[in-house]
Amino acid sequence: MKKELEKVISQSSFDAIVLYRLPHSNNSHLIIGNSEKIYNGINEIHLMSKGFVFEPFDNSVSHGIFIDESYSLSFNKLDKETKELLLPAFKSKAEEPDVFIDDEASYKAHFDQMLGAIKKGRIDKVILSRIIKGPEVKNEQVFDLFEYLTDKYPHAFVYILNTPEDGLWIGAGPELLLKHQQKQLSTVSLAGTIPNTASSTWSEKEIDEQHLVTQFIEHVLIHHQTTNIEYTEAQTLKAGQVQHLCTRFNFRLEKVNGNQVGLLYDLHPTPAVCGMPKEESYNVIKDTEKHDRRFYSGFLGPVNNGDYTFYVNIRCLNATDKTTHLYVGGGLTKDSVVENEWNETELKAQTLLSALKNI
């Protein structure tokens, strides 16, 4: 195994690398390969390949990435020699992006603009996101950070990915977008956020927010003529410093009734990262937010000859050689209060900020 990896590294016949760990799994995975830019979304050829998908929030504005699998490895813990071999591949060569950082005043202005759209009846829910500057991630900290996140957040899809143009991305998020395994498909309705404390309870605002997402998914599944639909009652999902409400769906989709790519892009972006109704809330986001979301609130995950597991890219950051940009957001409804929403984004940022402080 090590000789094969040494050969791959010495030949430098790749330009992209990713580490990932699926939720509640004891094993992590490494994929090394070449990155292909994807415009206007992935297709069935990508789903039938072996590799890793990294899609942006808006693929009409930003390109996605497909990393073909030239070399792969599953592991519990990497030994020191393997880490030393791989570490140079995680050195970001991307230029530092020019991003807009909200202060409380600009965030409040954007909040008021979005709340105005809700009160006028244009939308029921919309997600307001912002970027927070964090400390630098040194190259030698990459594996410590990955191990910290996998240990601290067993519920999350944890990843570290590096490509030449888009740089180093790191994340740990709990929201499944779409999974296909042995002809069975699954997704989740995830929304509502409260602190992860014993005294926290769900209010009508969070319950309504999650119900809207559940209704949206039901509508999409019926529209695509999926069969054998089963779903759970809303359950509490603990996600680091916060908790969410989560409803799990299992179903099937026969080829005669439609295609999985169409279903995927009807689910993405989900109401949990965009809003409802989907198209109108998307337009409100584009009119309001001053930053490019890039891969934040996109989706990502491994594909393996028709089977795949895609997670929504929330709780993520982009690391450059000087700083980190953390992307966080929260759902606004008619009952939202600006101070609470600002504090919620601060709390969500702690998933990654606490990791950066503890490595």
Distance CA(4)–CA(10), nearest Å, equals 10
Question: Does the pLDDT of residue 42 top 80, yes or no?
Answer: yes
Model confidence at 10, in pLDDT bands (50, 70, 90)? confident
**What is the structure's pLDDT at 193?**
85
106-119 tens-digit pLDDT: 999 999 999 999 99
Concatenated DSSP letters for 54-109?
A: EE-S-TTTS-EEEEE-SEEEEESS--HHHHHHHGGGG---SPPP------HHHHHH
**What is the structure's pLDDT at 271?**
87
**What is the structure's pLDDT at 258?**
56
Q: Which residue has the higher pLDDT, 122 or 254?
A: 122
Query: Is 165 in a helix, a strand, or coil?
Result: coil
**What is the structure's pLDDT at 282?**
97
CB distance 345 to 336 below 8 Å: no
Distance between first and last Cα of the chain: 28
Q: Which of 210, 201, 253, 255 is nearest to 233 (CA)?
A: 210
Model confidence at 218, in pLDDT bands (50, 70, 90)? very high
Distance CA(281)–CA(326), nearest Å, equals 22
Q: Which residues, in sequence order, are CB contacts of 285 under 8 Å at separation 6+?
A: 126, 127, 128, 274, 275
Q: Which of 65, 77, 260, 84 is nearest to 177 (CA)?
A: 260
Domain spans of the chain, in order of start: 2-86+103-358
Q: Which of 332, 230, 226 is nearest to 272 (CA)?
A: 332
158-168 tens-digit pLDDT: 999 999 889 99
222-253 tens-digit pLDDT: 999 999 999 999 999 888 788 999 999 999 99
Give the residue-averaged pLDDT of 277-297.
Answer: 97
Question: Does the pLDDT of residue 256 top 60, yes or no?
Answer: no
Distance CA(271)–CA(215), nearest Å, equals 10
189-207 tens-digit pLDDT: 988 889 999 999 999 888 9
Which class for 190: exposed (0-12), middle (13-18), buried (19 or more C-beta within 10 A)? buried
**Could you say which DSSP state residue 139 is in?**
G
Distance CA(305)–CA(45), nearest Å, equals 9
Q: Which of 11, 38, 50, 20 is nearest to 308 (CA)?
A: 50
Compute the C-alpha angle 287/283/259, nearest 5°: 150
Please name every residue paired with 319 in a beta bridge, in sequence order, or none if there are none.
168, 324
Q: What percent of the chain has pLDDT over 90?
A: 79
CB distance 351 to 240 below 8 Å: yes
CB distance 236 to 174 below 8 Å: no
Distance CA(90)–CA(319), nearest Å, equals 11
Torsion angle, CA of 302/9/295/306, rounded to 10 degrees?
A: -20
Q: What is the mean pLDDT of the chain?
A: 93
**What is the structure's pLDDT at 257?**
53
Query: Between helices 278-288 and 104-119, what is the axis angle to 10°?
Result: 150
Question: Does the pLDDT of residue 1 top 70, yes or no?
Answer: no
Q: Which residue has the higher pLDDT, 13 or 23?
A: 23
Q: Which residue has the higher pLDDT, 121 or 272?
A: 121
Q: Which CATH number fits domain 2-86+103-358: 3.30.930.10, 3.40.50.2000, 3.60.120.10, 1.10.3720.10?
A: 3.60.120.10
Query: Is 224 in a helix, a strand, or coil?
Result: coil
CB distance 225 to 257 below 8 Å: yes
Q: What percent of the chain has pLDDT over 70?
A: 99
Considering only 56-65, 205-214, 265-274, which range has the smallest mean pLDDT? 205-214
